[in-house]
Chains A and B, each alone.
Chain A
């Protein structure tokens, strides 16, 4: 058996190429964001100071469900968002659910704007943080701007100039869009299995 194993694993090039070809084919059939949420626990604790732990939850998105979400959002989802959605269930000291944390990345003028948002079990925004952004504009990172989202729900339009005050820069628009997207995703996917 060892000889056979040795033979198999010594077919280095063909075996390796086969794996790579399989990976490329697999990659071509779908794409999730290659996005690492840096320091997730720190941000969770900022949004939910009583947080004791969290659980990663993944929801698969059917084509039909993606269509419903896009319809509500009024814009197509990014390629990496059409197949699945990951969010985090936050628990308190006795294991009770405190809320959920969701993440999103939207395109800014100088790269991705990575946004983290907390939602209470009742579906209200508990807090919004910018994890990483390389924009020149600074207004969209200010607490004055971000705290306007607290308490908002899926019923709010979250439009700059309507229920959110800002100068209307691209990053501020993108943060508002991301907040609306995450509320709709949460509403559509929290009970999906």
Chain B
């Protein structure tokens, strides 16, 4: 699809929730500026991303029925304009079942409830899945303490809206939620078309993969400490891959949080990542984050980063 037509489509999708009905919509947005030092000698200042999100709920006489969400991201110093989550969701009674159609985050592992896109210490999906957002149809909901989600999508990733290869990707998660803990089991199978900037594409030299994945994720809240863990293993074509992640966030005060991460991933040799940092809320909605992440094993690379992140939301 022509780039300018794709952009027009994205703008229309984002504006849909606002224009479809007067009132009751929420607009939110943010900006993510970073200084990154790689290996001690390469420095970069960039606007990593800015985004605008619109959300609108449509109700009938029984209750909320349709939720429209549109988000556009301006990434890499505005060089990339692309859709983020942009979908229509039909909500069944009390949300016990929902059908979502559009461009959404895949229901796999920690991703289903924890989006680390705008954090310095990220989760495992760039290495473990190579796909995060995709266009398709998803059935999701809950029953008692259990929740479920199953998605059939195009496997073409976040930068494409059309199915360029006619292959499909099936993703699903079954979760259990206790008072301070949630546990999930996930699976993914199908063809994934890798993005140009994909880490997996860089490692393997392949532009697409037939992926099979199984994952287990856990999130535990214990006072000021939040622990998140994930174990993922499977196959890329016929090659066995696997690894895991452990993240810990510890609140020292309402504004200051310490962050730690360890991740391991085995594909073309083992890669280890160990990171630490902090997040400080300067004023409402404005955060300063500093983190250092060291990779060792297959390669030895240190990345230090400082980030200012601003977010807002407004009803109208």
Contacts and interface: CB of A to CB of B under 8 A. Distances in A.
Main secondary structure of the interface of A (DSSP, over half): mixed
Interface string B1-14: 01111011001000
A34 B215 CA distance: 30
B96 interface: yes
B284 A31 contact: yes
A166 interface: no
B78 interface: yes
B23 A58 contact: yes
Interface string A1-35: 01001100110110011011001101101111110
Contacts of A5: 4-5, 8
A83 B315 contact: yes
Chain A's interface size range is 35 or more
A12 B50 contact: no
B312 interface: yes
A53 B315 contact: no
A55 B64 contact: yes
A32 B315 contact: yes
B74 A20 contact: yes
A25 B26 CA distance: 16
Given A31-B284, A52-B93, A56-B59, A12 B78 contact: yes
Contacts of B24: 56, 58
B223 A31 contact: no
A121 interface: no
Given A5-B8, A6-B4, A110-B253, A55 B31 contact: no
Interface string B29-60: 10100000000000000000010100001010
Interface in B89-112: 93-96
A112 interface: yes
A108 B224 CA distance: 11
Contacts of B285: 27, 31, 34
Given A12-B78, A55-B64, A91-B62, A44 B313 contact: no
Interface stretch (A130-138, A146-154, A182-190): A130-138
A72 interface: no
Contact of B63 (A9, A33, A91, A111): A91
Interface string B281-303: 00011000000000000000000
Chain B's interface size range is 35 or more
A23 B51 CA distance: 9
A53 B78 contact: no
B81 interface: yes
A109 interface: yes
Given A56-B64, A110-B224, A134-B224, A44 B94 contact: yes
A20 B72 CA distance: 11
Given A26-B27, A32-B314, A56-B59, A51 B94 contact: yes
Interface in B228-266: 251-254, 257
B311 interface: yes
Contacts of B274: none
A145 to B, nearest CB: 15
Contacts of B226: 134
Contacts of A83: 315
A191 B314 CA distance: 22
A56 B284 CA distance: 25
B27 to A, nearest CB: 7
A134 B223 contact: yes
A110 B251 contact: yes
A111 B81 contact: no
Nearest to A130: B179
Given A20-B74, A56-B24, A111 B254 contact: yes
29 contacts: A5-B4, A5-B5, A6-B2, A12-B79, A12-B81, A16-B50, A17-B78, A20-B50, A27-B312, A31-B313, A32-B313, A34-B311, A34-B313, A39-B142, A42-B177, A44-B94, A45-B94, A52-B94, A55-B59, A55-B63, A58-B23, A58-B315, A91-B63, A109-B254, A110-B223, A110-B252, A111-B254, A134-B226, A134-B251
Closest 5 interchain pairs by CB?
A: A53-B63, A27-B312, A110-B251, A41-B95, A6-B4
